[in-house]
Amino acid sequence: MQEQKVFIARKAEFLETKFLSEGTSGRTVELEEVQDSQDDTHLVDTSNQHEDVENDHVDDQDTQNIRRYSRISVPPERYGFFMDGCYVVDSDEPTTYRDAISKPDFDKRQEAMNVEMQSMYDNQVWELVTPPLKSKVVGSKWVFKKKTDMHGNLDTYKARLVAKGFTQTQGVDYDETFSPVVMLKSIRILFAIAAYYDYEIWQMDVKTAFLNGYLEEDVHMEQPEGFVDPKHPNKVCKLKKSIYGLKQASRSWNHRFDDEVKKFGFIKNADEACVYKKASGSIITFLVLYVDDILLFGNDIPTLQGVKAWLGSCFSIKDLGEAAYILGIKIYRDRSRRLIGLNQSAYIDKVLKRFQMENSKKGLVPIQKGTILSRSQCPSSKVEQERMNGVPYASAIGSIMYAMICTRPDVSCALSMTSRYQQNPGNSHWMAVKSILKYLRNTKDMFLIYGSSEEELIVKSYTDASFQTDPDDSRSQSGYVFIMNGGAVSWKSSKQDVVALSTTESEYIAASLAAQEAAWIRKFIADLGVVATIQDPLEIFCDNEGAIAQIKEPRAHQKTRHIERRFNYIRDEVEKGKICIRKVHTDQNIADPFTKLLERTKHESHTCSLGLRYSSEWS
């Protein structure tokens, strides 16, 4: 500790169930695939989900052999499945400057560091000063990364100089740290609008974005390794601008960007801090910021060019032309039919490879109908817990979740069910997670498509609930989805936080949750000013007549008078004319897959209604 050195283990025990506060945090890791347990009988057999699995059993051919370090003892076969070790994602990446020197591609790393340092000089990020007597000096570190394109091919070498922000002291080196990012549902809504009106969609990237933020505090940093000034080796860098790694870096950058775009006439959306609008007559432009990624939507090319030129005068901008790939999402357009498709096949491939599932069997549904997961399937003995410690359960849940919140609403319910057991997962839970991965492998080429034959651009919602589906606490599952221009723009599948005593009550609660989301969507779209129908009552479709009656004509009925007042929010919205609740037949309720596991035919039908289709179906 006196030498202030950081040691990183090449082989480590990965403790998924431990809290970060109980120990030091580690680097992102990639873990070996866990073998299926031969004696696991309490999970419903998923053999009929796969095109190459026999009907009477599930073999383990989809699980690859595990690589083991010779110094680690091998547990007995009776343990069913296990994991011997882990290795770092992109393990060929150097972790320190000295490590980079020893790599055969150091010349390319050196070139990347030179580019980074030039950005520091161009932005006048620091000045060399004598170390202050009573001020802490923050360390610095080089972070290396090989970036790939949308197809997974090597694109460029990157080197980032970062400050060791973990050594900063709150109230001294920084104060506030919060910085907003645009919500993905906001981006999807803008894509749906852009498809309908055939807007231009341009993309830009701000180079070394965080270097543009101004610091309000005095922060001193060590000179970067490999670039120490030979004339002043004992001096330190007094930061004049923000730098990657500082606690307040993102906040400083966001404030600087907000100030600059407002000078050009953009107005921030009242309900989405990273969406801006500029209107002049019939000319409309929307700007979306996600950290350092910028999307421009508009109907006038000269205006968009003017925005691009203005941004280029304020920051160092990389023009990426028409939007094609952002946040791991591929963007496809058919402008002749006014269609936009979003796809994450490259991301899903990375996830499958990470968990050694790229050659697994292909699932036809996320989890087979009839599968029951509960806490009774969690490990109850120390031996079972140790056996499960090596399973990358939480990592797999997190990886699937990003796909779900971006473009894959069809796995929402399955993910909601499996994510409840991250603290102490059992073999059955892990098998269910693997089932989702197999389904994603089979459907990775699906697109979330916006574009329909409807004459008006409208938003409509579907809501549903499954009564007391959780076997542990008898709580119901809520689900809703909002459709705009033929595709889902917002969705949610979650367990209710109270115990409903009837199907009417569970459906009533689910409808109220949908009404809360509808309120935000109405405000956000209304502020965009390009969807006239948003001023009309937003239709929410429900398949439960009792819940609809309770919403439209509330009565002090013995079976409903105990319902918490907060769920009466939907009544108020209906009375104000902001929401219109309507009946839909159960078979046409596309919120159904958000509340329960479905058989293949119905699942595929609802998936199509959500806007998820293969390229052959719309290209």
In this predicted structure, the answer to whether residue 109 has a pLDDT above a threshold of 50 is yes
Strand-pairing partners, residue 275, are 288
Residue 551 to residue 572: CA distance in whole angstroms = 9
For helices 545-552 and 503-528, what crossing angle results, to 10°? Answer: 60
The CATH number covering residue 538 comes to 3.30.420.10
In this predicted structure, the answer to whether residue 417 has a pLDDT above a threshold of 70 is yes
Nearest to 86 by CA among 4, 188, 12, 183: 12
Residue 564 to residue 348: CA distance in whole angstroms = 41
Segment 517-526 shows an average pLDDT of 97
**31-35, 55-59, 440-444: which has the highest mean pLDDT?**
440-444
Instruction: Domain of residue 26: give its range.
Output: 20-88+347-421
In this predicted structure, the answer to whether residue 75 has a pLDDT above a threshold of 50 is no
Residue 239 to residue 243: CA distance in whole angstroms = 8
How far apart, in Å, are the Cα atoms of 44 and each of 371, 429, 435? 5, 11, 11
Residue 277 to residue 266: CA distance in whole angstroms = 5
Side-chain-side CA neighbours of residue 352 (13 Å): 24
If asked whether residues 480 and 586 sit together in one domain, one would say yes
If asked whether residues 152 and 214 sit together in one domain, one would say yes
Is 426 among the domain residues?
no
Is 427 among the domain residues?
no
The pTM is what? 0.80
* Strands in 272-396 per DSSP E: 272-280, 283-290, 293-298, 317-322, 325-326, 329-334, 339-343
If asked whether residues 69 and 168 sit together in one domain, one would say no
Question: pLDDT of 319-328, one tens digit each?
Answer: 999 999 999 9
Is 559 among the domain residues?
yes
Q: What is the DSSP string of 539-608?
A: EEEES-HHHHHHHHS----TTTTTS-GGGGHHHHHHHTTSEEEEE--GGG-TTGGGTS---HHHHHHHHH
Residues near 559 by beta carbon (within 8 Å), at least 6 away in sequence: 501, 502, 504, 505
Question: pLDDT of 246-280, one tens digit each?
Answer: 989 999 999 999 999 999 999 999 999 999 999 99
* Strands in 374-498 per DSSP E: 446-450, 459-466, 477-484, 487-495
Predicted local distance difference test score (pLDDT) of residue 153:
74
Q: Which two tokens stand for residue 426?
A: 């059992």
Mean pLDDT check: name the lowest of 63-67, 353-357, 481-485, 511-515: 63-67
Residue 473 to residue 452: CA distance in whole angstroms = 42
Is 436 among the domain residues?
no
Is 446 among the domain residues?
no
Q: Residue 432 burial by CB count (10 A; 0-12/13-18/19+): exposed, middle or buried? A: buried
Segment 288-308 shows an average pLDDT of 96
If asked whether residues 253 and 360 sit together in one domain, one would say no
Q: Where among 299, 327, 355 does a domain terminate?
A: 327
| 619 band by pLDDT with thresholds 50, 70 and 90 | low
In this predicted structure, the answer to whether residue 506 has a pLDDT above a threshold of 70 is yes
Predicted local distance difference test score (pLDDT) of residue 466:
95
Residue 81 to residue 428: CA distance in whole angstroms = 12
How far apart, in Å, are the Cα atoms of 579 and each of 482, 499, 514? 13, 26, 10
**81-95, 304-318, 543-557: which has the highest mean pLDDT?**
304-318
Is 335 among the domain residues?
no
| 358 band by pLDDT with thresholds 50, 70 and 90 | very high
In this predicted structure, the answer to whether residue 594 has a pLDDT above a threshold of 50 is yes
| 5 band by pLDDT with thresholds 50, 70 and 90 | low
Q: What is the DSSP string of 55-118?
A: SS---STTSPPPP--TTSPPPPGGG------EEETTTTS-SSHHHHHTSTTHHHHHHHHHHHHH
Predicted local distance difference test score (pLDDT) of residue 83:
32
If asked whether residues 136 and 35 sit together in one domain, one would say no
If asked whether residues 83 and 102 sit together in one domain, one would say no
In this predicted structure, the answer to whether residue 58 has a pLDDT above a threshold of 50 is no
Residues near 92 by beta carbon (within 8 Å), at least 6 away in sequence: 103
Question: pLDDT of 187-223, one tens digit each?
Answer: 999 999 999 999 999 999 998 898 899 888 889 999 9
Q: At 383, is the secondary structure helix, strand, or coil?
A: helix
What total of structural domains would you count in the chain? 3
If asked whether residues 206 and 313 sit together in one domain, one would say yes
Segment 176-187 shows an average pLDDT of 91
Mean pLDDT check: name the lowest of 66-75, 295-304, 515-524, 560-569: 66-75
Residue 540 to residue 173: CA distance in whole angstroms = 49
If asked whether residues 71 and 124 sit together in one domain, one would say no
Whose structure tokens read 């006239």?
A: 532
Segment 42-55 shows an average pLDDT of 39
